[in-house]
Amino acid sequence: MYISIKEIKSDINKLLYVVNNTTDRDCYKYAMCNINLLLDIYRNLTGEDYKIDIRRNLVLESKYCKDKSVEDTYIDEYLEDKKFNDIVFSKANSILYNYSEKKDIKEKDIKYEDFLDLLETFLVNYDSKIYAYYKYLSSKGYIDWFTYKNRSTNETNNIFLLNKRYILLDNDYDVEGLCTIVHEIGHAYAQNLVKDYNVSYNDCNTYYEFFSSFMERMMLFYLKGNRLYKSDVNNSDNKYLTQLKMYTDDLIKFENKSNETIRSNKGIISTSLIYFYGEYLALIKEYDYMHGQIETKNRINEFLKYRGSFSKEKELELLGVSRLDLLSGDKVQKLLLNK
Ligand SMILES: [Zn+2]
């Protein structure tokens, strides 16, 4: 275990102090939200619950209880532009049809030293700032490589009130594992760029999974370019596309459904929605990257810098993606033809 349990406990206690003493509604809300994240990390690392004595402030809670949940925000964004969204989903679904296959291949294990070496070389190559941030995270012990085996997913937890990010991993050292770690580093890096905690909380928008997915694509692109682990890279690539197709399958089911039905399925829809847009945009930007690396990186950095502060339209504009790019699916189609 790399993440210090002692530090997690001390972070929880720092935030408990905030919860028990603040009179500010937002501060209370964000501290509660961060404590819950830390309790999750504790449980995932140890397999046990950390018992705390939390005095809930019902007055402050009632002040924010009418706030929209993150899922409701996603659903509102989807419904506001439903026709457009539905065309994008069905177009993507037909493009991806030929590229998805359901087979689960066990990839070749990569030696731990080689795994780290590949990860670092990739990061240095892509962007020295991301590399530096990764070195910071790993030297501080904020990445756990061997998370408790009861976990089912990999995740990044953003403790924005303390300006900290914890990455929990539970995967093999193989090509999939490389994609996973760069995905999580992508989240941590993007979260670290957002300084204002209000914005940081609000950055849970439709494009939340974009940069992390883009890092995965870049990792595969890097391995392909260096002709490394060819068949496993191909496997991971297929897995990415198969999953993306699955999200579109889920989403197109709601094409003709009432808003009421949609709202009552907000869990599945919002998950599919953020992963679909994140991964689909990542493919569009991979196409752009192949035709102009510096320009594409600059665009993405602009997007990251202002994440959560603008409308969805403005964010797409910063990213250099037009509505037509999404509707036509041309770039994705061309990218996949060269696969
Ligand atoms: Zn993610």
Digitized pLDDT (tens) for each residue of the chain, 339 residues in all: 689 999 999 999 999 999 999 999 888 988 999 999 999 999 988 889 999 988 888 888 888 777 778 888 889 989 999 999 999 999 999 999 988 777 778 889 999 999 999 999 999 999 999 999 999 999 999 999 877 665 667 889 999 889 999 999 988 899 999 999 999 999 999 999 887 666 666 567 789 999 999 999 999 999 999 999 999 999 999 999 999 999 999 999 999 999 999 999 999 999 999 999 999 999 999 999 999 999 999 999 999 988 878 888 899 999 999 999 999 999 999 999 987
Angle of helix 128-139 relative to helix 175-193, nearest 10 degrees, comes to 100
Residue 225 lies in a domain: yes
CB within 8 Å of 257: residues ≥ 6 apart: none
What is the Å distance from ligand 1's center to 24 Cα? 30
Domain of 213 in residue numbering reads as 70-140+174-337
Distance from C-alpha of 212 to C-alpha of 322, rounded to nearest angstrom: 20
Q: Considering only CA atoms, give the Rg of the chain.
A: 20
Q: Quick one: 97 and 74 in the same domain?
A: yes
Q: Are 188 and 47 members of one domain?
A: no
335, 310, 296: which is closest to 211 by C-alpha? 296
Q: Examine the fold and report which residue of 20, 48, 64 is the final residue of a domain before the chain moves on.
A: 64
232 CA from centroid of ligand 1 (Å):
21
d(CA 154, ligand 1 centre) in Å: 9
Considering the domain architecture, whether residues 18 and 132 belong to the same structural domain is answered as no
Beta carbons within 10 angstroms of residue 221's beta carbon: 18
* Interval between CA 207 and ligand 1 midpoint (Å): 10
* pTM of the full structure: 0.94
Query: Which of 64, 93, 109 is where one domain is finished?
Result: 64
Same domain, 15 and 134: no
| Structural domain includes residue 169 | no
Would 149 be classed as within a structural domain? no
Find the 59 Cα to ligand 1 centroid distance in Å: 34
Q: Is residue 52 part of a domain?
A: yes
Say yes or no: 188 and 212 in one domain. yes
Q: Are residues 83 and 45 in the same domain?
A: no
**How many angstroms separate the alpha carbon of residue 268 from the centre of ligand 1?**
16
Q: What is the DSSP string of 112-137?
A: HHHHHHHHHHHHHHH-HHHHHHHHHH
Cα 181 to middle of ligand 1, angstroms: 10
* Residues 134 and 253 reside in one and the same domain: yes
Q: Based on the structure, what is the number of domains in the chain?
A: 2
pLDDT in tens, 34-43: 999 999 999 9
Whether 162 maps to a domain, the answer reads no
The token duo for 143 is: 């990445």
Same domain, 20 and 131: no
Residue 247 CA to ligand 1 center (angstroms) comes to: 14
Co-location of 251 and 285 in the same domain: yes
How close is the Cα of 196 to the center of ligand 1, in Å? Answer: 21
Q: Judge if 217 and 233 occupy the same domain.
A: yes
Asked if 119 and 130 count as a contact pair (C-beta separation under 8 A), the reply is no
Judged on CB neighbours under 10 Å (0-12, 13-18, 19+), 259 is: exposed
Ion ligand 1: residue ranges with CB closer than 5 A: 209, 212
Phi, psi of 185 (to 5 degrees): -60, -40
**Alpha carbon of 188 to ligand 1 centroid (Å):** 10
Token pair of 41 as six digits: 């990390």
Give the other-Cβ count within 10 Å of 326's Cβ.
22
For ligand 1, the distance from its centroid to the CA atom of residue 323, given in whole angstroms, is 23
How close is the Cα of 18 to the center of ligand 1, in Å?
29
Residue where a domain terminates, one of 64, 83, 111: 64
CA 335 to centroid of ligand 1, rounded, Å: 22
168 located within any domain: no
